[in-house]
Amino acid sequence: MVAVNPQPNPESARIERHSLHDAIVTRLRDMIIEGHLPPGTRINEGQIGAQLGVSRTPLREAIKYLASEGLVELVPSRGAVVKAFGAKEVLDMIEVIRTLEQFAATRACQIATSNDIGAIRDLHDEMVACYRSGDRLRYYKLNQAIHSGIVALAGNAALSDVHGMLQTRLKRIRFIGHEGPEKWANAVAEHEEMIAALEARDEGRLSAILGRHLTLAWERVKDSLQP
Q: Where does this chain bind DNA (CB under 7 A)?
A: 17-21, 42-47, 54-58, 60, 74-80
Give the CA-trace dihedral at 187, 188, 193, 198, to 10 degrees: 100
- Shortest distance (Å) from residue 39 CB to DNA: 16
Choose from DNA, a second copy, none: what does 47 bind? Cβ within 5-8 Å by kind: DNA
- Shortest distance (Å) from residue 40 CB to a second copy: 18
Select 49 or 149, whichever has its Cβ closest to DNA. Answer: 49
Select 105 or 187, whichever has its Cβ closest to a second copy. Answer: 105
3-state percent breakdown (helix, strand, coil) of the chain, nearest 5: 70, 5, 25
Choose from a second copy, DNA, none: what does 6 bind? Cβ within 5-8 Å by kind: none
175: which residues sit within 8 A by CB, 6+ positions away?
33, 34, 35, 140
Q: If binding means CB under 8 A, how many residues of this protein chain bind a second copy?
A: 35
Select 124 or 172, whichever has its Cβ closest to a second copy. Answer: 172
Give the CA-trace dihedral at 38, 39, 42, 47, to 10 degrees: 20
Choose from DNA, a second copy, none: what does 54 bind? Cβ within 5-8 Å by kind: DNA
Select 69 or 95, whichever has its Cβ closest to DNA. Answer: 69
Do residues 66 and 22 touch, judged by C-beta distance below 8 A? no
d(CA 122, CA 127): 8
Among 53, 158, 223, 227, binds a second copy (CB under 8 A): 158
Choose from DNA, a second copy, none: what does 92 bind? Cβ within 5-8 Å by kind: a second copy
Select 124 or 177, whichever has its Cβ closest to a second copy. Answer: 177
Pairing of strands 79-82, 72-75: antiparallel
Do residues 160 and 208 touch, judged by C-beta distance below 8 A? no
The enclosing H or E element of 79 equals: strand 79-82
Do residues 209 and 196 touch, judged by C-beta distance below 8 A? no
Q: Does 42 interact with a second copy (rule: CB under 8 A)? A: no
Choose from a second copy, DNA, none: what does 56 bind? Cβ within 5-8 Å by kind: DNA
Pairing of strands 72-75, 42-43: unpaired
Residue 34: beta bridge partners?
A: none
Give residues in contact with a second copy (CB under 8 A).
17-19, 21, 57, 60-62, 64-70, 74, 76-77, 89, 92-93, 95-96, 99-100, 103, 156-159, 161-162, 165-166, 169
